[in-house]
Structure 1
Amino acid sequence: MTALSLKNLDISYGDVQITHDVNLDIADGESFALVGESGSGKSTVLKAIAGLAPEWTGEITVLGSPRGHGIDRAFSRQCQMVFQDPYGSLHPRKTVDATLGEALTIHGIGDRNARIEEVMTSVGLDRKFRFRFPHQLSGGQRQRVAIARALMLKPKVLLLDEPTSALDVSVQAEILNLLKRLRREQNLTFLMVTHNLAVVSFLCDRLAVMRQGRIVEIADVADLKRGDLKDPYSRELMQISAAHAN
């Protein structure tokens, strides 16, 4: 089954077209990466899927259901997004409890206490953090809260926008291991945006390379690990990534 399908997706901000004819099919349970330099359009694709970039044409289908423009409650129970910055994505005046309970209130879902404790346990957050504010948490703990918030409605698809890039290196591995475990335990489908090819190698099955709003190559992660990407720009990204790693 295809969990997420994009057909001829063109996204614009006003008169500026950001992406051109993006086509992707991501299988149920697959972890897929969009990679490319800043400004390539990869985060804009996530925003369009999430309903945060409403000026698009083409088709977006999630778990067999076409996605309309704007906010869609039924869609949000199937697909959620984890943002790059755990400092900016959490409301500074809301406790962890209030942040996690908000989606349950909006969707009229009961059993609030049990659901919040269950999801906090699943992301490795001790219950003592439940009534703390974001400023009382570390960066890694905040990102665990952000992941927990995305899981509150038990979606099947997670959109991950550079989920570790704002964290200390020592914490990045913890969050990547957490995401890998959650995917396995909950049979989640990931679409992740990143510039870090080492992260792609660790967490993903396939990747698409974007340049100037277009997909120039789709490849298996096995090809990436072998250094066997075909497009010249893809190979350039591998060289840049290898240089940074050294």
Structure 2
Amino acid sequence: MNALTLENLDISYGDTQVVHGVNLSIAEGESFALVGESGSGKSTILRAIAGLAPDWEGEITVMGEKRSHRVERSVSRQVQMVFQDPYGSLHPRKTIDAALSEPLAIHGIANRGERVEAMLTAVGLDRRFRFRYPHQLSGGQRQRVAIARALMLEPKVMLLDEPTSALDVSVQAEILNLLKRLRREQGLTFLLVTHNLPIVSFLCDRLAVMRHGRIVEIADVAQLKAGQLVEPYSRELLAATEGT
């Protein structure tokens, strides 16, 4: 079964259309990347899937269930998002315990304390972090908390919006290894937005190259590693990465 299917997806902000006719199928358990320059519509697609960009047309299907334009609890149990800035995505006046317990409370899930401690352990943080505030954590620790929060409802699909770009280079590898392990252990499907092709090579199975709101190429990561992308724009991205 496909974990995510997008059919003829158009997304607009007011009178400006930013995503045009996107068609995409991502298999359950697959790790898929959307790559391209800033403003190409990558993050907008994630926001539409998560229910944060309501002005769209076409079809979005998550784990076999077509999503509407409303916020749907059943969909949020299946798909969760990790944002680029771990500090901006956590409430500065709420403890880590409160941040992780909130989705459980909204969905009426019991044993919250036990679940919070188990998830902290899963992302490599011990129980001492439970009652700290975001400003008391490093950037890498905050992103681990953001990943833990996204996993509290045991979703099948994780939307990852540049999850390491706000972190120091030394911490990025730790978070990428964590994501790879969690995907393997929990059978997760990833949809990753990034402009960093080495991250795609490490974490993903396939990628779609986007330009001006359209997909110009879909390729296997093996093609990326071998430098065998076909479209001129895709090859430009690859050349720019190799030149840095």
- What TM-score bracket applies, with the shorter chain setting the length? over 0.9
Q: Which residue of 1 aligns with 2:140?
A: 140
Runs of 4+ in 1 over 3 A off after TM superposition: none
- What percentage of residue pairs aligned between the two structures are identical? 76
Q: 1:234 aligns to what SS in structure 2? A: helix
**What TM-score does the superposition give when structure 1 sets the normalisation length?**
0.99
Q: What amino acid does structure 2 have at the position aligned with 1:145?
A: V
Whole-angstrom CA distance in 2 between matches of 1:10 and 1:116? 38
> Which residue of 2 is the match for residue 203 of structure 1?
203
In the TM superposition, what whole-angstrom CA distance separates every residue of 1:123-181 from its partner, at most 9, and x where no partner exists?
A: 00111000000000000000000000000000000000000000000000000000000
- Counterpart position of 2:121: 121
Q: Distance in 1 between matches of 2:187 and 2:123?
A: 15
What letter is aligned with 2:32?
A: F
Q: Which amino acid aligns with 1:77?
A: R
Structure 2: gaps (5+ residues): none
Query: Would you say how many aligned residue pairs link Structure 1 and Structure 2?
Result: 244
Partner of 2:207, secondary structure, is strand
CA–CA distance in structure 1, aligned partners of residues 173 and 89 of structure 2:
20
2:159 aligned with 1:159: yes
Contact 1:80/1:151, CA 8 A, preserved across alignment: yes
| SS at 1:100 equivalent | helix
The structural deviation recorded for 1:70 is 2.9
**Whole-angstrom CA distance in 2 between matches of 1:148 and 1:87:** 14
Aligned to 1:51: 51
Q: Which amino acid in 2 is paired with 1:234?
A: S
Q: CA RMSD in A?
A: 0.4
- Aligned equivalent of 1:239: 239
**What secondary structure sits across from 1:68 in the alignment?**
coil
Structure 2 length as normaliser, TM-score?
0.99
Query: Which piece of structure 1 moves more, 68-77 or 20-29?
Result: 68-77
Residue 102 of structure 1: how far off its partner (Å):
0.2
1:1-246 equivalent positions in 2, closer than 5 A: 1-244=1-244
Report the secondary structure of 1:49's partner residue. helix
- Look up the equivalent residue of 1:141 and give its one-letter code: Q
**Deviation at residue 243 of structure 1 after TM alignment:** 1.3
Report SS of the residue matched to 2:243. Answer: helix
Contact kept, 8 Å, 1:52 with 1:70, in 2: the verdict is: no
Matched residue type, 1:20: H
Matching residue's letter, 2:34: L
- Equivalents in 1 of 2:205, 2:224: separation in Å? 10
Deviation for aligned residue 1:45: 0.2
Gap runs ≥5 in structure 1:
none
How big is the shift at 1:32? 0.1
Deviation (angstroms), 1:83: 0.2
Instruction: Specify the SS of the correspondent of 1:181.
Output: helix
Q: Is the 8 A contact 1:79 1:159 kept in 2?
A: yes
Report the Cα distance in structure 1 between the residues aligned to 2:126 and 2:111, rounded to whole angstroms: 19
Amino acid at match of 2:98: A
